[in-house]
Amino acid sequence: MTRKFLLTLLVFLPGCGTADTAPATAQPNVILITLDTTRADRMGFLGSKRGLTPHLDALAREGTVFTRAYSQAPLTTVSHATLLTGTYPPFHAVEDFSVPLPDDVPDLAVELKQRGYRTAAFVGALILDPVNGMAPNFNRGFDVYDAGYRLRRDRADDRYQSLERRAEDVVARAQKWLEASSSQPFFLWVHVFDPHEPYEAPAPWGQRHKDPYDGEIAYTDSVMGKLFDFLRQRNLMAGTTIVVASDHGEAFGEHGEFTHGVFLYDTTIHVPLVIKFHDGHWKGVRYTGQVSLVDVAPTVLAAANAPVPQEMQGRNLIPLLQRPPADLPSYAETQYPRRAFGWSALHTLRSGGQLYVQAPRPELYDVTADPETKQDLAEARKADARRMDGQLENFKKRVESGRTPENVRTKADPRLLEKLTALGYVSGGAATTKPDNELPDPKDKIQVANQLHSATLMIEQGEQARAIPTLQRILATDPQIFVAQMQLGLAYSKQKNYREAIAPLRKATDLMPTSGPAHFALGRSLLSVGEIAAAATHFEIVVTQIPQWAGAHFLLATAYAITERPQQAMDSCRTALKYEPSNYGANLLLGRMLTVHGDPAGGLPHLEKAVELRPNSAEGFRLLADTYARLGRAADAERARAAAARLRGAAPVVDP
Ligand SMILES: [Zn+2]
């Protein structure tokens, strides 16, 4: 058996390479920076001549550049789950957004926290919000996880105050956290979302670049420059291991794809990766062997002189830097076509200079001769394709854990499964149970994905009237597309046409019974048309699945209050306030309910809080006036009544 063969085998063994650790020194600080949706070919340090990234290039000169780093998935939550856990998607089972990160997978933040690190995450968008968004349990191991995002209420609602934050805002929050001095080492994760569409960089970057995506990259780089300056000024640059990576790239029409998620070609899977080690080791090295994002967590732990958990499947890259570059086979997958559209999932293996795409009609590319993967050789090199298919299958078998997104949830809370079953939901988690090779090949359907994507963006931008016909056209031929049903329901909801919203949202929950956001949207529409008991059941599912979702607890409380279940309503309000003390609706409702159930003194602070939160709410002042009156505080009651009268005319707002 040759040494090369043995090394190839080792690559496939989970947890291997863990014996390699750097010599023990003090615990260095660690900063992980993830640049969402950032293409490798826009980085100056990877050969771009566009001049977009002077600050990242400067960091790259101080550190090690991995010129051929590959992501394991073209989706934000999946790729970040791999980055944080050092495990492959078939192991952590976070195969799409909304799937909770399991409690029992290894995790970088958990490991470092256990070793005395202060840990904090500052994420840039709703997609990585563990509470209101699509990344349940991603806050595992973090002392501070700064998110707090929400969907936009309407067109006037600023997206940078709701769905996402500008990079400068995210970095400013992170810097504030860094300023609190401590003798403990820290682990900081900063995620910036700006390069993700819509591409609308602030001035002057938006204007300076003809390509709006390039403007976002240049803007993001400028903010990174500010962060690096801040670190230098506080002597935090030396002594800190800094990793910069992107979670996935972005497609601009390559293979017919726009944005990311469906395909696994280099446009979305080749990613920038720089590691600047705290001790200055490997400065200026350009490592040209093939590596993967799954290798980041073990490498960071090794750099921090922390043991790498056996279950981590990536490799510590440090020992590789001491040898001539070698290609580690790199695996990627996307379940998005299957879960969102009912098409085949895709899997790829990059190995030996070839890219193999496992699909109903498999593809094979010689990436050395054909880096843009324009010529599919699967027919011409049948034996190679078969061999790589075998390797890929073996690889999946070696890394999978047996977790599925469904049993991840069920394990988290069996009550969820009970509720779903009671409502008649069966199986669940995926839009189809058919094997992949019996499903449509995504390459035959990519135009549908592109249309759906534009419709989603229209809704996000408040253009419901334009989006609805597009969605209806898609659903006329492909009614099993979860995202299309969900978006159609949301489009109607945003138009306040809740009756029309119910059918597509119900279909969405049929297609993906474990989607918390789908149940939330359906519950809200049912509540709005007066189907209160049904609404309550859907909110119960949401709060079982995502217990910290304050807005769902509040709407559940509303449903209980209307159906004469005051005790349950008040309990749900209290739960909402436990997670979000400044939830207006929960303060208002709890304050009112306590008042009318004989405890105006208990209700008062909640109503005072409600009017403090929304000083323009006539409803709040009206209820507050009544509570003051019941407490015998006539003058206060009069003042509150006067305020309500002044504000009358403004529609009462009850909003989670
Ligand atoms: Zn992303």
Is 404 inside a domain boundary?
no
**Bond preceding residue 90 cis, omega within 30 of 0:** no
pLDDT band per the 50, 70, 90 thresholds, residue 1: very low
Q: Is 387 exposed, middle or buried (0-12, 13-18, 19+ CB in 10 A)?
A: middle
Average pLDDT of the residues in 36-65:
98
> Which tokens go with 150?
């929400």
pLDDT at 613: 95
Q: Is the pLDDT of residue 275 over 50?
A: yes
Residue 632 belongs to some domain of the structure: yes
In this model, does residue 654 exceed pLDDT 80? Answer: no
**Span from the CA of 277 to the centroid of ligand 1 (angstroms):** 25
Phi, psi of 290 (to 5 degrees): -80, 125
Same domain, 280 and 164: yes
Gap from CA of 545 to ligand 1 centroid (Å): 23
* For residue 271, pLDDT beyond 80: yes
Q: Is 564 helix (H, G, I), strand (E, B) or coil?
A: coil
Q: How many Å lie between the centroid of ligand 1 and the Cα of residue 424?
A: 34
Q: What whole-number distance in Å separates Cα of residue 65 and Cα of residue 132?
A: 35
Ligand 1 centroid to 15 CA: how many Å?
A: 26
CATH assignment of the domain containing 128: 3.40.720.10
Helix (H) / strand (E) element for 417: namely helix 414-422
Q: Residue 652: its pLDDT value, please?
A: 45
Q: What share of the chain is helix, strand, coil (3-state, %, to 5)?
A: 50, 10, 40
Q: What is the dihedral of CA 96, 99, 105, 108, to 10 degrees?
A: 70
Q: How many residues does the chain have?
A: 656
Residue with tokens 């019941």: 630
Quote the ligand 1 centre to 75 CA distance (angstroms): 5
User: Do the beta carbons of residue 130 and residue 142 sit within 8 Å?
Assistant: no
Is 576 a domain residue? yes
Q: Is the pLDDT of residue 376 over 70?
A: yes
DSSP state of 599: -
Q: Which helix (H) or strand (E) holds 364?
A: strand 363-366
CA of 343 to the centre of ligand 1 (A): 21
Q: Structure tokens of 382?
A: 């049948």
Q: How large is the average pLDDT for residues 228-253? A: 96
Q: What six digits make up the tokens of 234? A: 């506080």
389 three-class SS = helix
pLDDT tens-digit series, residues 178-200? 998 778 999 999 999 999 988 99
Distance from residue 98's CA to the centre of ligand 1 (Å): 14
Instruction: Give residue 79 CA to ligand 1 midpoint distance, Å.
Output: 8
Distance 131 CA to ligand 1 centre (A): 18
pLDDT at 107: 97
> Which runs of consecutive H residues, i.e. helices, occur in 246-347?
266-269, 296-303, 336
**83 CA distance to ligand 1 centroid (A)?**
12
Assess if residue 129 is contained within a domain.
yes
Structural domain total, the chain: 2
Last residue of a domain, one of 315, 331, 347: 331
Domain range for residue 601?
Answer: 409-437+494-647
Ligand 1 centroid to Cα of residue 129, in Å, is 13
Q: Which residue has the tokens 């570059």?
A: 325
Helix, strand, or coil here: 145?
strand
- In this prediction, residues 472-498 reach a mean pLDDT of 92
Question: Distance from the CA of 537 to the center of ligand 1, in angstroms?
Answer: 32
Which tens digit of pLDDT belongs to each residue from 278-299?
999 999 999 999 999 999 999 9
Tokens of 113: 């926290």
Strands 354-358 vs 363-366: parallel, antiparallel or unpaired: antiparallel
Say whether pLDDT at 334 is over 80: yes
pLDDT 10s digits, 559-595: 999 999 999 999 999 999 999 999 999 999 999 999 9
Question: 36: CA distance to ligand 1 center in Å?
Answer: 4
State whether residue 201 is helix, strand or coil.
coil
Distance 106 CA to ligand 1 centre (A): 21
How many angstroms separate the alpha carbon of residue 78 from the centre of ligand 1?
Answer: 9
Distance 195 CA to ligand 1 centre (A): 9
Residue 125 alpha carbon to ligand 1 centre in Å: 10
> Would you say residue 239 lies in a domain?
yes
Segment among 156-170, 356-370, 597-611 with least mean pLDDT? 156-170
Is residue 419 situated within a structural domain?
A: yes
Are 417 and 270 in the same domain? no
Residue 540 Cα to ligand 1 midpoint, Å, equals 30
pLDDT of residue 459: 84
Distance from residue 37's CA to the centre of ligand 1 (Å)? 5
Q: Considering only 476-480, 591-595, 618-622, 626-630, which range has the smallest mean pLDDT?
A: 476-480
- State in Å: Cα 612 to ligand 1 middle: 37
Tokens 């078969």 locate to: 386
- Does residue 351 belong to any structural domain of this protein? no
Residue 627 tokens, joined: 């509570």
CA of 419 to the centre of ligand 1 (A): 32
Q: Where are the beta strands (DSSP E) in 207-324?
A: 240-246, 251-252, 258-259, 270-271, 273-276, 286-292
**Ligand 1 geometric centre to CA of 298 (Å):** 21
Measured in Å, residue 198 CA sits from the centre of ligand 1 at 13
Residues 616, 519, single domain; the answer is yes
| Dist. CA 247 → ligand 1 center (Å) | 5
Per-residue pLDDT of 128-171, as tens digits, reads 998 877 788 999 999 999 998 877 777 778 888 888 999 999 99
Based on the domain organization, do 324 and 415 belong to the same domain?
A: no
What per-residue confidence (pLDDT) applies to 416? 54
Between the CA of 6 and the centroid of ligand 1 the distance, in Å, is: 35
**433 plus 322 within the same structural domain:** no
Listing DSSP states for 139-166 in one string gives: TTT-SEEE------SSTTS-GGGTTB--
The number of C-alpha atoms within 13 Å of 64 and in the hemisphere containing its C-beta is 26
Question: To the nearest whole percent, how much of the chain has pLDDT over 70?
Answer: 90
Q: Does residue 430 have a pLDDT over 60?
A: no
Question: How close is the Cα of 196 to the center of ligand 1, in Å?
Answer: 7
Looking up tokens 């303060």 gives 587
Instruction: Specify the pLDDT at position 423.
Output: 53
* Identity of the amino acid at 150: R
E strands present in 480-557: none
Rounded to whole angstroms, the Cα distance separating 458 from 467 reads 6
- Which of 74, 179, 109, 183 lies closest to 449, judged by CA? 74
Q: Are residues 432 and 291 in the same domain?
A: no
Higher pLDDT, 272 or 431: 272
Residue 426 has a pLDDT of 43
Residues 89 and 72: beta-carbon distance below 8 Å? yes
**259: CA distance to ligand 1 center in Å?**
10
Same domain as 326, residue 200:
yes
Q: What is the Å distance from ligand 1's center to 266 Cα?
A: 15
Pair (430, 317) in one structural domain: no
Q: What's the rounded mean pLDDT across residues 256-276? A: 97
Separation of 644 CA from ligand 1 center, angstroms? 45
Predicted pLDDT of residue 26 = 77
Render pLDDT for 82-138 as a digit per residue (tens, 0 to 9): 999 999 999 999 988 778 899 999 999 999 999 999 999 999 998 899 887 778 899
pTM: 0.80
Residue at 340 is within a domain: no
pLDDT at 159: 84
Q: For the chain, what is the mean pLDDT?
A: 89
- The confidence score (pLDDT) of residue 313 equals 98
54 and 141 part of one domain: yes
Q: What is the largest CA-CA distance in the chain?
A: 92
What's the CA-to-centroid distance between 187 and ligand 1, angstroms? 21
* Domain termination site, one of 331, 353, 382: 331
Confidence of residue 415 (pLDDT cuts 50, 70, 90): low
pLDDT(202) > 90? yes
Q: What is the CA radius of gyration of the chain?
A: 26
pLDDT class for 59, splitting at 50, 70, 90? very high
The enclosing domain of 584 has a CATH number of 1.25.40.10
Alpha helix stretches (DSSP H) within 18-75: 54-62
Task: Output the CA 21–ligand 1 centroid distance in Å.
Answer: 30
pLDDT (0 to 100) of residue 655: 41
Distance in Å, CA 645 to ligand 1 centroid:
48
220 Cα–ligand 1 center, Å: 14
Q: Tell me phi and psi for residue 382, to 5 degrees.
A: -55, -40
Cα–ligand 1 centroid distance for 190 (angstroms): 13
CA of 74 to the centre of ligand 1 (A): 7
Q: What is the 202 CA–ligand 1 centroid distance (Å)?
A: 20
Using the predicted structure, report yes or no on whether residue 435 has a pLDDT greater than 80.
Answer: yes
- C-alpha of residue 89 to centroid of ligand 1, in Å: 15
Among 331, 346, 373, residue at a domain's last position: 331
Say whether both 286 and 418 belong to one domain. Answer: no
Q: Is the pLDDT reported for residue 387 higher than 60?
A: yes
How many angstroms separate the alpha carbon of residue 278 from the centre of ligand 1?
Answer: 27
Tens digit of pLDDT for each residue in 503-542?
999 999 998 887 888 899 999 999 999 999 999 999 999 8
Q: Which residues surround ligand 1, an ion (CB under 5 A)?
A: 36, 76, 247
Task: Give CA–CA dist 424/403, Å, rounded.
Answer: 23
User: Which pLDDT band, with edges at 50, 70 and 90, does 418 fall under?
Assistant: low
pLDDT at 345 over 90: yes
560-567 contact pairs (CB < 8 A, 24+): 560/536, 561/589, 561/593, 562/532, 563/532, 563/533, 563/536, 566/593, 566/597
Give yes or no: residues 601 and 502 share one domain. Answer: yes
Residues 417, 314, single domain; the answer is no
